[in-house]
């Protein structure tokens, strides 16, 4: 009896295949009806394209397919991979992760019971790849260490440990006021062209001399920008420990949407091996826009600002995968969000601010007045990073923050031209110098010991006597002096060791002797 039913079903399957191979509309309609009625068991794994538009395909059949699975459309030219995002009663919606020019209604789709996976491994380091791991540079094919699923659950609470190791960015303003630790998620937020990407790039450049690997995920960026970043990394010899994952503006919304998940999946491979990884998502605003586009095309209801209701979950499940694990592996995430007219209260910025452990807020006004990196000390915070901050720097960061805040409060008075009392004048003079001191060119990271010494000299008043515009010259000369004389002083290494107190006498002697020499050698005497 059972045998009979099976052979009858087989015959039916054959019949439907031969009907469809003629590929005319009439037959498709008959086939569709039969598929909808689930008459054929073969259609548990095979479906048919019913419509295709804007990178979205509607499918019927494949009654066992699941959300997040990849299916393949068989076209005359190749197999085209799609990701299933909608599973409805009689219809499946999937996004095409490839060019959709050859996809037509009536083509067969095969489900292979696999969730979306990307290649991972050391072979990806130093390469520019697309989200699915295909190389887009000219360095030949990639032989990867196997595949890893793109959507997996974030590491459990048990396997995590609090942030305890600093991730030095080499930027004076970030390392002192808004310190970042391995495993942290720190948002970089600001208007366009305020130096967001530059901060992330500096952080990558500063990992050159330690064993932190970096993954730069470009979402909706210009190809020329990605090429420029690759060139800078190559020139500074940092590309070899970096993966550039590019879903540029010319790529489909589907590829832009999956890009950050693919990036973090690649990072997880290294994290599970006990290595430290820094991942940059540049930027999540464009990611949200690509998801909005897909959701609207999949006919999901729009919510606030047109974004689908699950946009928060889209970003939170991505950023939750950043972690500091007990096995000493970690993923540090630096997501970037672009604001319009500094409006941080818009939907996506508020979402991502609430998911992350702090934000570096970049101010357009500061940027145009030449204070770059344009980090606003008042609006930027790091909620967990100070637990991992270098102790010597932590000691000074407190007074730096306080003096900058006091300066901001009284700064306005200078513009009114009032006569000020001595204390206020001194506060303003110090504030101007401190602000000047935190200015830094991009692509020029400063080592931790130099940062500590420079900050020490400013906070102890060594810079108070010089005109504010001499500060950069002083800085350069001081750093040169320190590099040359480092062997004369028992400082090398000691400043950057955690839990180490500042060797105050030595530092004082070093700073004092240099400042004196600088004062005499420069023609400041004449100016004074
Ligand atoms: N610290 C800096 N000093 C000088 N110029 C900078 C600095 N940071 C960024 N820039 C310049 O500002 C421009 C915009 O920077 P970018 O990082 O691309 O901004 P965003 O990513 O916010 O759009 C770039 O041309 C870059 O050269
Ligand atoms: Mg940018």
Residues touching ligand 1 (Cβ under 6 Å) are: 190, 192-198, 372-373, 440-442
Dist. CA 338–CA 173, nearest whole Å: 20
Same domain, 180 and 305: yes
Whether 10 and 97 map to the same domain: the answer is yes
Q: Tens digit of pLDDT per residue, the chain (528 long)?
A: 444 444 555 555 555 445 445 455 666 677 666 666 655 666 678 999 999 999 999 999 888 899 999 999 999 988 999 999 999 988 999 999 988 889 999 999 999 889 999 999 999 999 999 999 999 999 999 998 889 999 999 999 999 999 999 999 999 999 999 999 999 999 999 999 999 999 999 999 999 989 999 999 999 999 999 999 999 999 999 999 999 999 999 999 999 999 999 999 999 999 999 999 999 999 999 999 999 999 999 999 999 999 999 999 999 999 999 999 999 999 999 999 999 999 999 999 999 999 999 999 999 999 999 999 999 998 999 999 899 898 888 888 888 988 898 898 888 777 777 777 888 888 888 899 999 999 999 999 999 888 988 999 998 888 888 888 899 999 999 998 888 876 556 565 566 555 567 778 778 888 888 888 888 887 665 444
- Residues 271 and 166 placed together within one structural domain of the fold: yes
Q: Is residue 137 part of a domain?
A: no
Count of domains observed in the chain:
3
422 and 336 in a common domain? no
- 339 and 446 fall within a common domain: no
Question: Is 210 part of any domain?
Answer: yes
**Do 198 and 273 sit in the same domain of this protein?**
yes
Residue 167 lies in a domain: yes
Q: Which residues of 187-218 are buried (b: 16+ CB within 10 A; e: fewer)?
A: bbbbbeebbbbbbbbbbbbbbbeeebbbbbbb
Q: Which atom of ligand 1 is closest in space to residue 200's alpha carbon?
A: 17
Ligand 2 centroid–CA 125 distance in Å is 22
The last residue of a domain, from among 57, 90, 115: 115
Ligand 1 closest atom vs CA 193: 23
Domain-ending residue, one of 372, 389, 406: 389
Measured CA to CA, the distance from residue 232 to residue 1 in angstroms comes to: 71
Residue 412 and residue 375 share a domain: no
Indicate if 283 and 430 belong to the same structural domain. no
CA of 47 to the centre of ligand 2 (A): 41
Instruction: Verify that 283 and 423 share a domain, yes or no.
Output: no
Strands 358-362 and 187-190: parallel
Same domain, 180 and 293: yes
Out of 195, 221, 229, mutate this one to test ligand 1's pocket (max ligand atoms within 8 Å of CB): namely 195
128 assigned to some structural domain = no
Give catalytic residues, as residue numbers. Answer: 383
Does residue 430 lie in a domain region? yes
Phi/psi of residue 9, nearest 5 degrees? -65, -40
Residue nearest to atom 14 of ligand 1 (CA): 193
| Of the residues 339, 372, 389, the one at which a domain ends | 389
497: which residues sit within 8 A by CB, 6+ positions away?
none
Domain residue limits at 431: 393-527
The protein residue with its alpha carbon nearest to ligand 1, atom 12, reads: 195
**DSSP run (H or E) holding 148:** strand 147-149
- Global pTM value: 0.89
123 domain-assigned: no
CATH number where 61 lies: 2.40.30.20
DSSP 90-103: S-EEEEESS--TT-
Residue nearest to atom 11 of ligand 1 (CA): 195
| CA 235 to centroid of ligand 2, rounded, Å | 19
Q: Are 109 and 73 in contact (CB under 8 A)?
A: yes
């Amino acid at each position: 009896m059972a045998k009979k039913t099976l052979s009858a079903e087989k015959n039916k399957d054959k019949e439907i295949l031969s009907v469809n191979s003629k590929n005319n509309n009439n037959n498709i309609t008959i086939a569709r009806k039969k598929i909808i009625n689930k008459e054929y068991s073969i259609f548990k794994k095979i479906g048919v394209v019913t419509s295709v538009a804007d990178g979205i395909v509607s499918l019927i059949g494949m009654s066992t397919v699941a959300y997040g699975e990849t299916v393949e459309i068989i076209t005359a030219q190749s197999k085209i991979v799609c990701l299933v995002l909608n599973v409805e009663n009689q219809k499946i919606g999937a996004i095409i992760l490839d060019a959709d020019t050859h996809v037509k209604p009536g083509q067969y789709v095969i489900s292979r019971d696999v969730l979306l996976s990307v290649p991972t491994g050391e072979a990806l380091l130093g390469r520019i790849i697309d989200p699915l791991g295909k190389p887009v540079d000219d360095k030949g094919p990639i032989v990867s260490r196997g595949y890893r699923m793109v959507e997996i659950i974030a590491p459990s609470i048990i396997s995590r440990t609090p942030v305890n190791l600093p991730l030095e960015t080499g930027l004076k303003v970030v390392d002192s006021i808004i310190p970042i630790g391995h495993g942290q998620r720190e948002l970089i937020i600001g208007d366009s062209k305020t130096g967001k990407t530059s901060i992330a790039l500096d952080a990558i450049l500063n990992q050159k001399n330690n064993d932190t690997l970096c993954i730069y995920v470009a979402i909706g960026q210009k190809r020329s920008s990605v090429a420029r970043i690759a060139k800078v990394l190559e020139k500074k010899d940092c590309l070899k420990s970096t993966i550039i994952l590019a879903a540029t503006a010319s790529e489909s919304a589907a590829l832009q949407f999956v890009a950050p998940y693919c990036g973090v999946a690649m990072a997880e491979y290294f994290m599970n091996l006990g290595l430290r990884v820094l991942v940059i998502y540049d930027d999540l605003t464009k990611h949200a826009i690509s998801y909005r586009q897909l959701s609207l095309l999949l006919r999901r209801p729009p919510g606030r600002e047109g974004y689908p209701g699950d946009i928060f979950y889209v970003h939170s499940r991505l950023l939750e995968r950043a972690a500091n694990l007990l096995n000493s592996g970690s993923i540090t995430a630096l997501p970037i969000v672009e604001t319009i007219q500094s409006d941080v209260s818009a939907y996506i910025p508020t979402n991502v601010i609430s998911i992350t452990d702090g934000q570096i807020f970049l101010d357009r006004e500061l940027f145009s007045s030449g204070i770059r990196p344009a980090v606003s000390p008042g609006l930027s915070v790091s909620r967990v990073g100070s637990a991992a901050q270098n102790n010597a720097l932590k000691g000074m960061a407190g007074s730096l923050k306080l003096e900058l805040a006091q300066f901001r409060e009284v700064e306005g008075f200078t513009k009114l031209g009032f006569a000020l009392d001595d204390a206020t004048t001194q506060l303003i003079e110090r504030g101007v110098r401190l602000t000047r001191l935190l200015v830094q060119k991009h692509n020029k990271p400063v080592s931790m010991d130099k940062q500590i010494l420079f900050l020490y000299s400013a906070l102890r008043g060594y810079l108070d006597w010089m005109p504010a515009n001499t500060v950069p010259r002083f800085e350069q000369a001081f750093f040169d002096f320190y590099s040359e004389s480092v062997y004369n002083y028992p400082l090398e290494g000691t400043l950057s060791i955690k839990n180490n107190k500042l060797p105050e006498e030595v530092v004082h002697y070093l700073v004092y002797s240099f400042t004196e020499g600088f004062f005499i050698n420069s023609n400041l005497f004449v100016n004074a």
